[in-house]
A and B are shown apart, each in its own frame.
Chain A
Amino acid sequence: MDSKNNQSSAARILVEFLEVAITSVVFLKGVYPSDAFERRRYMHVVVQRARHPLLRDYIHSAVSGLLPFIQKGLVERVAVIFFDSDNIPLERFIFKLAVNQSNGSKVEEGDLEFSLRSFLVKLSVSEGLTKVLPRDCRWEITAYFRSLPHVSTSKDAELWIPTDTKQWQQPPLITPIKSMSSEPLSLQLYMEHPSLSEPKPQEGKNS
């Protein structure tokens, strides 16, 4: 397996993992009734899977649309943002990725899976760290790129639209959930909450 393939297989595993992890986050936050999910097993851990095809598709298409960009090393962060009816974010789950392109050594899929599994385990028990969301909140997946991709590089990119979600005025409070650094992939999951000094009636710019 040459390095290119190696790296792309890591990216593929990562994308698959992100799909599961994002579903877990959404489940964890209770945006939808728990009936909307069903128990499945992934990497030998019990995870949730969305039953509603639209929800499933949204997560799947969003994440798999990222694959080419992750392979190119363009994606810096993938955020799951929960925001209220005014588009003001309440809580953000950030997956910060660093795919090391230079890595020549072979990735042991087993090792990678082992590391990623710890995210899922940790995520399932970190409800206490999160904030209770109001009833009418919504959520979205946002990806932060190192540089802007071309709109029509692939069909998938067209699925991505500029976000309307506002941004916080103050630097947020960060609560790490899990970090993993292995070759060729480093991943960190942390939460961002608005800073205590964040002005309540916000007039933020659109991102």
Chain B
Amino acid sequence: MSFDSCRSSSANSSRKSKRSLNNSNSSNNKKSKQKTLGMAWGANSLSSSRSSFRNSPFSNFSSYMAEKNRKLQHQFEAEASTSSHNGSSSGNLIFQGVSIFVDGFTIPSNQELRAYMLKYGGRFENYFSRHRVTHIICSNLPDSKIKNLRSFSGGLPVVKPAWILDSIVANKLLGWVPYQLDQLANNQPKLSAFFTMKGNPIPENVLTDEACQVNLDPFFKGGTPRDANISEVGEPMRDTEQVDKLFDDPKLQLEEPNSSSGKSSEVKIEEPSSSDAEDGNSVNNNHQSSPDQLSASVSDHCLLNQSMKESPSSESVGPSNQRHSTLGDPNFVENYFKSSRLHFIGTWRSRYRKRFPSSSSDFKCRSSDLITSDNSQKSTIIHVDMDCFFVSVVIRNHPELHDKPVAVCHSDNPKGTAEISSANYPARNYGVKAGIFVRDAKALCPHLVIFPYNFKAYEEVADQLYNILHKHCNRVQAVSCDEAFLDVTDTDVGDPELLASTIRKEIFETTGCTASAGIAGNMLMARLATRSAKPDGQCYIPSERVDEYLHKLPIKALPGIGHVLEEKLKKRNVWTCGQLCLISKESLQKDFGKKTGEMLWNYSRGVDNRLVGNIQESKSIGAEVNWGVRFKDLQDSQHFLLNLCKEVSLRLQGCGVQGRTFTLKIKKRRKDADEPAKYMGCGDCENLSHSMTVPIATYDVGVLQRVTKQLFGSFCLDVKDIRGLGLQVSKLENTDPSKQGLERNSLRSWLTSSSGITGKGCSINSMAKERARIDSEVQNINGSSGQLFPDQTGFSAQMDNNSLSGVSDPPPLYHLDMGVVESLPPELFSELNEIYGGKLTDFIAKSRVASENINIYSCTSSAEGKELAVDGGKGPLASDMIPLDVIMVENSAKQHTSKEAQAGPSRAGLQNEANCSVSPGNTDLMPSSLSQVDVSVLQQLPGELRGDILGQLPAHRKQESTSNAELHPLSENLEGSLNIKITENQPNSIASVLNTNLWIGSPPQWVDKFTVSKCLILKTLAQLYYKLGLSGSLSPILQCIISECLYPSDDSDAWGEEATYDLCELFKQYVKIKMELDLEEVYVCFRLLRRLTTKSKFLLHVYNIVFPYLQTSVGENYGGDLHI
């Protein structure tokens, strides 16, 4: 403390030195001395300027408080001394020097915390003082305190109580930084702290035992059946209600299966058959009788889960209501978005922009002209809106249904709780409207026909629609897939009404669906005109009739007026626009805010200054799933998060942007909420969200995943309570096109470089995998490329970006495999369709039955085989998530189809390339046995992917025998034609992949491993390790290699993939270990390694692989790039 005392600020120093004295005294327990000290200190800190309180102790409040504090402190010290005398203390005064102040409700309670402080030598302050308190303990802060944190905390650390508990468990004072209150980072008042505990390597059991003692409730120990629950007790943040809930937990778990099985049987009985028109229902019908099939078809009623049917039918019926939740389906996220209407609408725009990129940029330059010309010239806007789009597209080929009530919905279960998404006009007459449950709709209109979505058709029709619109007008603003504004001011057509009817006629002729149009002087009026034009009509509101039209218009009709605003206005006795006009702008702005007020004022007068084509750039991109989300354990949720990240990353890439801020939204079941009325819905939920900003914008799945994991952890939720999850990315930045191109190129070059080593087949394979990651839609191709000329599709997939050009003559229609055509991404499909002059669509319908027959014929006789073959062609396969036995069955099924396809004469021209990819490994993305894994590919895969694959492979092995006979000829063919060397040491290298941590142990594991390596340089490394005295650092070894010229002089022979991988892994793990605390060592190592690259091509190769990893790691830890 010498330093303190030499500092001049007197109050401070005296306080500090006194505290240190106190500390040393507390063990000696000299009461008298302490008493005087306490008094002196009290006077010093609070009322030093006032008259001494000795004479008039309670002359004012501050002296009273000082006295009270002194007394409390005295009591505390007395207690501390007795507790230490009792010998109950563990003797370790770990909190010496720590003085806590507990703010608000905590678990353990402040009294318990006080007891800890007593026991472990700390101090406990009843009243906050910046001078006496060193740490503030709290688990939750009110908003006001967070906003004004500094005045609340006085700059002192605000720490969660877990810090104290953990410190006690660890028997030393832990750093408080990791325990800082999460709220401080982002103002969310509903957080708790158990993530940090999770992250802590301290064995949780120890901790929870401790915590159980804290609670002193014997029933806890008896009543908690599982470890997980015990750990829940241990969460210091749980409030009592939650603890109460814990008692219910076992009950809940017991009840759940019961209720769900009850439900499932109910569903089974009432579910007549799959309503799925597009999805090969003949097969489903065939299998109605088998009980397994029934349970599978249950999933159809929501259509969410095509892969459900792919899942092995041997699976027991189980709680089927979980099967199309996140619980049952590993591909849940993907399938969810595949069948989500909102997703379709949401992502439609970026698709549209890609399709008509020139036109949208065209607006921008033109719209600036418009601004100047706006006042002088009267503009004419046409608003085109398809009539009940989702229904009419689906029934366009069913003329008999046109005047029958029809609705579109996921499910047609008459008791179901799926929501109607669209209903046609006959149905609307019955009161069926979007958003009501199927069961209600059926009640209103018993003969309502319900169709499932047909997204392919929607896209097709939307594309046709926009083709027509763009043909007639070059200034089109797409509002949605079925709705657009056209600015026809400059168009030569004299009569806008004539133009509108031409467009409508053409739309009907092309798409078979009707559209309505509204024509007016601005976007608002055009839209309103459409409203009165519907259905299948058009309406023109010339400017002189605007007032008349608006006068009677109910306010609800105005865009921007929702329920809330409507209610507010109605309270003010405003029902129509005419009434709204009577209110002054100022008054509106006062009541509804500046913007809304102005909007109301303008709209009620038919004024709308928006320009057609002024599309707002989206501010955020994200994905959210609020249906079917049920997690069993943390692993489930992590898996789900990963998929969500992949989805979001794909969307970001699709829009060509990167984001910096990531927001994780969670819907958490309210404590008292029952299972929601809507089947698998989210029910009554609390909405929680948490966000984090990273320094560099990204769309990288890895980063997304890391951030999301961290965010997820900070919620500290029981995963069972989660009913919805969403990830949103904001602070978007446009991906620099040149930069992006570079990245792509490097990816390509990376792929080709690997192909140079292992042969062509591998590059195709890895390309396929890589592409699958880049573009989910292309997965379709991969999933089925075995069935049709794969390179043709592969090519067009690539050409998709570079504007399709120079396509060779297409094969005749009847040579196409419909399974492939159908599962093509929509863009490709429409392109193909165009190539064939639109005949493809018709052809598909006809050939569907036939192709199914072929598939069924070619399959083995097992029932699930048939089904899977049909599905295999349709549902895209995600390489790393499909249950294994499914793949196996599919393998066998596909063999047949692909063999048959090979026999077909039309393939002759493509035979060469087809050979490369018609192989089990390629068709299904997952090789069927380890021997088919190309190790080099495996090694270059990102870690998580590799883990997934490896995790699945052992299971594959078991299956090998069953399918071997079938697989053999083809795989041989593959190996033979592609010269893939499957070396004998492969099992070895697989083991090395699994064997992760090379730097553990003394000597570290890599030394032993490298000693026996065949690669000379690895051997040298291991020898040098011993020679240089077993230091844990890599740089001396590298230094030695350089100075003694130990690098392999003859570099001509192949170095082997295993050695490359091992060495890369060695460096990567070294970087990981050293990065945080020893940047210098990392730097030196890579400088040396770079010097070595000039001597050895092998090391150059390794360097090139590891370098990007290094820079990412430096970026994460230091926010920059290492200058090497």
Contact = CB atoms under 8 A, between A and B. Distances in A.
Nearest to B1115: A171
B1123 A175 contact: yes
Contacts of B1055: none
B173 A171 contact: no
A179 B150 contact: no
B688 interface: no
A174 B155 CA distance: 31
B1078 A181 contact: yes
B903 interface: no
Given A171-B695, A176-B1079, A176-B1080, A195 B1121 contact: yes
A97 B176 CA distance: 15
Interface string B125-138: 00000100010000
Nearest to B167: A102
A151 B1122 CA distance: 35
Contacts of A176: 1079-1080, 1082-1083, 1122
Interface string B1076-1099: 011111110000000000000000
Interface stretch (A45-53, A78-86, A109-117, A142-150): A142-150
B1121 A101 contact: no
Interface stretch (A23-31, A35-43, A185-193): A185-193
Contact of A174 (B134, B184, B1121): B1121
A3 interface: yes
Interface string B1093-1119: 000000000000000000000110011
A72 interface: yes
Contacts, number: 113
Nearest to B184: A147
A171 B1120 contact: yes
A173 to B, nearest CB: 4
B838 interface: no
B173 A179 contact: no
B1080 A2 contact: no
A185 to B, nearest CB: 11
Interface residues of B, number: 45
Contact of A178 (B93, B167, B1080): B1080
A181 B1077 CA distance: 6
A102 B155 contact: no
A75 to B, nearest CB: 11
Contacts of B1115: 171
Interface string B163-205: 0000100101111110010001000000000000000000000
B97 interface: yes
Nearest to A100: B175
Best-surrounded residue of A4, A98, A151 (most CB of chain B within 10 A): A4
Contact of A147 (B12, B180, B1081): B180
Best-surrounded residue of B96, B134, B155, B1080 (most CB of chain A within 10 A): B155
B1122 A102 contact: no
Contact of B157 (A67, A72, A192): A72
Contact of B155 (A3, A153, A192, A195): A153
Given A179-B1077, A179-B1080, A4 B96 contact: yes
B9 A155 contact: yes
B23 interface: yes
A100 B175 CA distance: 7
A74 B157 CA distance: 9
B97 A2 contact: yes
A187 to B, nearest CB: 9
Nearest to A155: B9
Given A72-B157, A102-B170, A150-B150, A190 B1118 contact: yes
A104 B167 CA distance: 12
B162 to A, nearest CB: 14
Contacts of B1080: 176-179, 188, 190
Contacts of B1123: 173-175, 193
B518 to A, nearest CB: 45
B154 A153 contact: yes
B696 interface: yes
A101 B1114 contact: no
A174 B1122 contact: yes
Nearest to B181: A147
A207 B93 CA distance: 42
Nearest to A189: B1080
B3 interface: yes
B696 A102 contact: no
A102 B174 contact: yes
Contacts of B184: 147
A176 B1118 CA distance: 11
A186 B23 CA distance: 28
A150 B1 CA distance: 23
B1086 to A, nearest CB: 10
A2 B1079 contact: no
Interface of B: 1, 3, 9, 12, 20, 23, 93, 96-97, 130, 134, 150-151, 153-157, 167, 170, 172-177, 180, 184, 695-696, 1077-1083, 1114-1115, 1118-1123
22 contacts: A12-B3, A67-B3, A98-B1077, A101-B174, A102-B170, A102-B173, A102-B175, A147-B157, A150-B154, A155-B9, A157-B155, A171-B1119, A174-B1118, A174-B1120, A175-B1123, A176-B1079, A176-B1122, A178-B1080, A181-B1077, A181-B1078, A188-B1078, A188-B1079
Given A175-B1083, A177-B1080, 6 more contacts: A2-B97, A4-B23, A147-B180, A150-B130, A154-B9, A173-B1123
